[in-house]
Amino acid sequence: MPILATGTQEKDIDYLLHFALSLEEAERSSVTIKNYLCDLNYFVKWFEQKTDQKFNPEQITPTDLRDYKHYLSEVLLLKPKTVNRKLSSLKSFLNWALCEDLIPEHRIPRVPQPIPEETVGPQWLNRLEQHALVRIVEQGKNQRDITIVQLLLNTGLRVSELCSLMWSDIQITNRKGRLIVRSGKGGKRREIPLNQDARQVLQELGYHQNQGKKDAIFWGQRGPMTPRGVESMLHKYVVHAELNEVTPHKLRHTFCKNLIDAGVTLEKVAMLAGHENLETTRRYCSPSSHDLEAAVALIGVNE
């Protein structure tokens, strides 16, 4: 039912509140709704100061949107990613307003094109950085932490997949092993072979005692580990190893890069990593900043 029902005065309508309620009905997360409202409140405040009139979506013009984009990028100097997110939130709101008959179809303003964003490829650890991280974690003598780092480096799991692992997802024999991701990105199931390093740390963590159990493998103080808990644990070791920022996802990138460097085909890497698009995997063929620095060093005059 349209919001602007018979007898309703436009000045009484809280457009953003109704928009938020529609997002709740669509089962959008509380974080998503909060981000939408933050972006939209920003626009409403700007609009009312610019036009000196109370906000009404029907009064928004294409010129307003172009001016707003210019204000965000050229006056506030916000990053392209932030500008594009705010414009995307506004576009979603305007589409909702159209569906609610708050804006006639012929009057809905077109949201300006997104600002091109600088493409940042995947980041990974080089061999020295990998060895430094593994060494510092092993010195901590916490088998849970050792197993987490080795699995991220040797299976390429997403941190959410790692936290969801149960002992029943692991199968290890004398010379082989495999790990089952029950619900990866997009709800897809996949199997990842376990190499010797991965099998060893899982056995040392208690595989044989817990084989087949539908219990979480990794636990924190208050229950099964969460992605945030893994990131916090990893950060502690990264500080001691004096490495630059290292995240669970960076270790996943490292797994893919190591496979590419070892000559594994893109198709196989994509299957192991759970990539839906081969172009995602192809990014790991790009040279890193270390590779480029080494290349330039080859032609130094004094070399």
More confident residue, 295 or 205: 205
pLDDT of 120:
57
Same domain, 90 and 227: no
Q: Does residue 71 fall inside a structural domain?
A: yes
Active site residue 106: no
Q: Does residue 116 fall inside a structural domain?
A: no
pLDDT of 119:
54
pLDDT of 9:
41
Same domain, 209 and 245: yes
Q: Does residue 76 fall inside a structural domain?
A: yes
Q: Which of 43, 74, 107 is the last residue of a domain?
A: 107
Same domain, 164 and 288: yes
SS3 159: helix
Whichever domain contains 149, its CATH number is 1.10.443.10
Q: Is residue 292 scored above 80 in pLDDT? A: no
Same domain, 207 and 84: no
How do beta strands 170-172 and 177-181 pair?
A: antiparallel
Same domain, 182 and 286: yes
Q: Does residue 114 fall inside a structural domain?
A: no
Same domain, 161 and 276: yes
What are 42-90's pLDDT values in tens digits? 999 999 999 998 999 989 999 999 999 999 988 888 888 899 999 999 9
Catalytic residue, candidates 28, 178, 182, 185: 185
Q: What angle do CA 32, 56, 101 make, to 5 degrees?
A: 80
What are 222-254's pLDDT values in tens digits? 899 999 999 999 999 998 888 888 999 999 999
Same domain, 83 and 185: no
- Rounded CA gap, 166 and 243, in Å? 31
- Quote the longest CA-to-CA distance of the chain: 83
| Model confidence band, residue 1 (pLDDT cutoffs 50, 70, 90) | very low
Same domain, 270 and 193: yes
Asked which of 123-127, 181-185, 220-224 is least confident by mean pLDDT, the reply is 181-185
- Rounded CA gap, 122 and 260, in Å? 13
Query: What is the arithmetic mean of pLDDT over 6-29?
Result: 75
Catalytic residue, candidates 158, 250, 253, 257: 158
Catalytic residue, candidates 249, 250, 253, 283: 249
Same domain, 281 and 135: yes
Q: List the one residue out of 128, 161, 159 whose CA is nearest residue 251.
A: 159
pLDDT of 226:
92
Range of the domain at 48: 10-107
What are 247-272's pLDDT values in tens digits? 999 999 999 999 999 999 999 999 99
Say if residues 198 and 157 touch (Cβ distance below 8 Å): no
pLDDT of 29:
84
Whichever domain contains 48, its CATH number is 1.10.150.130
Asked which of 11-25, 82-96, 117-131, 161-175 is least confident by mean pLDDT, the reply is 117-131
Q: Does residue 168 fall inside a structural domain?
A: yes
Q: Does residue 285 fall inside a structural domain?
A: yes
- Rounded CA gap, 21 and 31, in Å? 14
Q: Is residue 143 scored above 90 in pLDDT? A: yes
Asked which of 107-121, 145-159, 224-238 is least confident by mean pLDDT, the reply is 107-121
Same domain, 164 and 233: yes
| Model confidence band, residue 118 (pLDDT cutoffs 50, 70, 90) | low
Active site residue 185: yes
Active site residue 249: yes
More confident residue, 240 or 130: 130
What are 267-291's pLDDT values in tens digits? 999 999 998 888 888 877 777 667 7
Q: Does residue 254 fall inside a structural domain?
A: yes
Same domain, 138 and 284: yes
Q: Which of 107, 140, 163 is the last residue of a domain?
A: 107
- State how many domains the chain has: 2
pLDDT of 156:
95
Catalytic residue, candidates 250, 252, 253, 257: 252
- Rounded CA gap, 211 and 111, in Å? 55
Q: Does residue 199 fall inside a structural domain?
A: yes
What are 54-64's pLDDT values in tens digits? 999 989 999 99
What are 22-37's pLDDT values in tens digits? 999 988 888 889 999 9
Same domain, 63 and 30: yes
Active site residue 252: yes
Q: Which of 77, 107, 137 is the last residue of a domain?
A: 107
